[in-house]
Amino acid sequence: MISSRSVSKSPRQEILAGIRAYLHDHFPDVEFTEDVEATTGNVIFHGHPRAHQIEVTETFLDGDSENADRSLNHIRVWNLARALREAGGRLVTVATTGLRIAP
């Protein structure tokens, strides 16, 4: 018997899956790969062929089950897609305080 607990996604997995879906919806012609920074636990998304770069902080990913939906709503309200277009290849950081485009 499989417990429902082992099948359900963690909030971190839910948030990452939601970000992947959001990026696919807004950038259907871009393939995003992701890496985890060993020192910080942050997840970095790299867009190909466009040079979109997103860093999602560990604290943003550390929501509890009700925060997963809230975190994904923040991405929509903050308009991550617009920030990526405005960044022109510069790194966009997603943190609990909002979005930041690297200089």
pLDDT tens track for 17-72: 999 999 999 999 999 999 999 999 999 999 998 889 999 999 999 865 567 888 89
**85 has pLDDT over 60:** yes
The whole-angstrom separation of Cα 79 and Cα 70 is: 14
pLDDT at residue 1 above 50?
no
pLDDT of residue 55: 97
8 A C-beta contact, residue 84 and residue 100: no
Measured in whole angstroms, the distance separating CA 91 from the mean position of its chain's CA atoms is: 13
Q: Quick one: tokens of 41?
A: 């636990």
What CA–CA distance (Å, rounded) separates 73 from 3?
29
User: 3: pLDDT confidence band, cut at 50, 70 and 90?
Assistant: very low
